[in-house]
Every structure is written in structure tokens, then in C-alpha cells.
């Protein structure tokens, strides 16, 4: 059996991060000192640093940069990470924002525990009267992806919708699959995507040299926006778990009625 290759881990300093990330904009988003950086092929993982958007600082547990997902050309996505995992302090739920490898847009995900009343529900079956409001409505519902595996690599972790491992990832060959543990391997994830008719999708925008009038009205949903929507979804899911009314939102997502492929309502299913 061929032995799995190791992934080198280095201290995350400006001197090590900038040559690996190749972007001052990306480096400026990494807040604090210390942490580790590791690279495997076109995937870079930074741990031990917070992540700054234009609106807030995310207490990130893992920050991934994935060349396969990164849009080409200039745009508001320059310097953004391609996956950020963190635990939302207010709700206690694990959160992820993740970039689509094909079209370059961001999506947001929240994991709920097994005792949550919506655990196991398909996103399309969540009753509308619950009143979940999130960008474009819920588009994803699934159990934690790809259970513990001794063969897990950075390229897999960069795409996986599941918890961060309990102990810091060292990314060397392990003996048993159970060496990779998550806090709740049976968490159920709900998510939303930013690829609707009113969203600017990076790879679509790059496909033509002259933007159409319909594209001019579209907005790229940047990391700050997607973090905001993810945290709002976590708060609503927590309220449902507590039997409380969904918290009122000061900043509403676009009405789903703007997208001809979806039904009416303001960000609701």
C-alpha cells in the first residue's frame, strides 16, 4: 500500500504567509499573530488566525484558499478566502462559508445537533410559517459530509461541509479512521447559495467582455454579506430550537420573488 504524503506545517507569519498566498489583500484579512499554515497542491489552510471582512471579524477555526475555486480576473472577490469554518458564539452552532468551484460564488451553511426539531428535514420541506429568512431561501440540507477517514487531505477538507476536527489537524498519515473526530458526526447542515437571478456570479461575469444590462443590476455577495446571512440563519435556527420566535432582522435579504425560478416572499421558503 502506498504511504500517504505528508503536508508540511509552518508557523503563520507574514514572511511565510505572503509567498504562499501571493496576495497582500488576502494577508490583510488574516488578523492576529501566530497560528499555522500548510499547503498541499493548490490548497492552503491557515489556522490560529481570525478573518476580517469589511463588516466584522470572524473567529475562524480554519481558513482555506483553493486555487480550483478562486475566480479569475479582478473583482470584489480578490483576497477573499474560499472556505471559512467557525463556531458562532451567540448560537453555539458551527458555521461555514464556501466558494463554488465551478462558478466562484459563495454559499453559507449552519450545522444543527441531533436534538434540534429540524434535524433531518429536507430544505424544501421546512414549513414556510416557521419564517426562516435567508438569502434566496434554504437550498441545502444534508448530514455531515464524508465521515472520519485516515486518508483525508487538504483538497477534501477544503470542500467538506462538516465540523472542524476536535484536535488541531496535523495532516500526516494516521492509523485509525477514528483519529479524525468531530464534535457531532451526525450534525445536520442547512445552507443557502448566492447564485440567484439577482446575484453577480464571478465566472458568468467573466464570460463576456461587455456586461449585459441585466448583469449591471446584479450584486456580488461578498464574504461580509455571506457571513452576515450565515450568522442570521444560525440565530433563527437557535430560536427554533428554543421554541422562540425568529429574531427580527434589520437587514433583509433580497425578495425571492426577484428570482423567476423561485416563489414569492422575502428570503423565505
- Taking the domains of the chain in order of start, what are their residue ranges? 9-258
Question: Residue 250: what pLDDT?
Answer: 78
Helix or strand run (H / E) with residue 188: strand 188-193
Low-confidence ranges of the chain (pLDDT < 70): 1-6, 146-152, 165-185, 206-216, 256-269
227 to 61, 119, 134, 147, 182: CA distances (angstroms): 14, 22, 11, 25, 22
The pLDDT tens digits of the residues spanning 81-133 come to 999 999 999 999 999 999 999 999 999 999 999 999 999 999 999 998 888 99
Question: Residue 69: what pLDDT?
Answer: 93
Question: Residue 251: what pLDDT?
Answer: 81
Q: Whole-prediction pTM value?
A: 0.85
Helix or strand run (H / E) with residue 108: strand 106-112
Length of the chain: 269
- Residue 58's Cβ-count burial label (10 Å; 0-12, 13-18, 19+) is buried
Question: Residue 84: what pLDDT?
Answer: 98
Q: Which three cell numbers stand for residue 21?
A: 498566498
Closest CA relative to residue 188, chosen from 121, 126, 112, 116: 112
b/e 101-128 (16+ beta carbons within 10 angstroms → b): eebbbbbbbbbbeeebebbebebeebee
Question: Residue 265: what pLDDT?
Answer: 37
Closest CA relative to residue 229, chosen from 107, 119, 129: 107
Query: How many other C-beta atoms lie within 10 A of the C-beta of residue 222?
Result: 18
Parallel, antiparallel or unpaired: strands 30-31 and 43-47: unpaired
Amino acid at each position: 500500500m502506498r504511504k500517504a504524503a505528508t503536508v508540511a506545517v509552518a508557523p503563520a507569519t507574514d514572511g511565510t504567509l505572503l509567498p504562499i498566498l501571493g496576495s497582500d489583500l488576502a494577508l490583510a484579512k488574516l488578523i492576529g499573530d501566530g497560528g499555522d499554515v500548510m499547503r498541499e497542491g493548490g490548497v492552503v489552510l491557515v489556522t490560529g488566525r481570525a478573518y476580517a471582512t469589511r463588516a466584522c471579524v470572524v473567529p475562524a477555526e480554519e481558513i482555506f484558499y483553493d486555487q480550483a475555486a478562486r475566480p479569475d480576473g479582478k473583482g470584489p472577490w480578490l483576497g477573499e478566502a474560499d472556505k471559512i469554518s467557525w463556531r458562532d458564539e451567540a448560537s453555539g452552532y458551527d458555521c461555514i462559508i464556501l466558494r463554488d468551484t465551478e462558478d466562484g460564488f459563495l454559499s453559507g451553511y449552519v450545522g444543527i445537533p441531533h436534538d434540534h426539531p429540524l434535524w433531518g428535514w429536507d430544505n424544501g420541506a421546512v414549513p414556510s410559517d416557521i419564517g426562516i429568512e435567508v438569502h434566496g431561501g434554504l437550498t441545502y440540507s444534508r448530514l455531515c459530509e464524508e465521515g472520519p477517514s485516515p486518508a483525508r487531505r487538504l483538497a477534501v477538507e477544503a470542500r467538506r461541509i462538516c465540523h472542524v476536527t476536535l484536535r488541531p489537524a496535523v495532516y500526516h498519515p494516521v492509523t485509525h479512521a477514528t483519529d479524525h473526530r468531530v464534535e457531532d458526526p451526525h450534525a445536520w447542515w442547512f445552507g443557502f447559495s448566492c447564485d440567484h437571478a439577482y446575484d453577480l456570479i464571478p465566472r458568468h461575469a467573466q464570460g463576456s467582455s461587455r456586461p449585459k444590462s441585466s448583469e449591471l443590476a446584479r450584486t456580488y455577495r461578498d464574504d461580509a454579506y455571506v457571513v452576515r446571512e450565515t450568522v442570521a440563519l444560525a440565530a433563527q435556527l437557535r430560536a427554533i430550537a428554543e421554541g422562540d420566535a425568529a429574531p427580527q432582522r434589520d437587514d433583509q435579504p433580497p425578495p425571492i420573488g426577484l428570482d423567476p425560478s423561485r416563489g414569492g416572499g422575502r428570503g423565505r421558503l
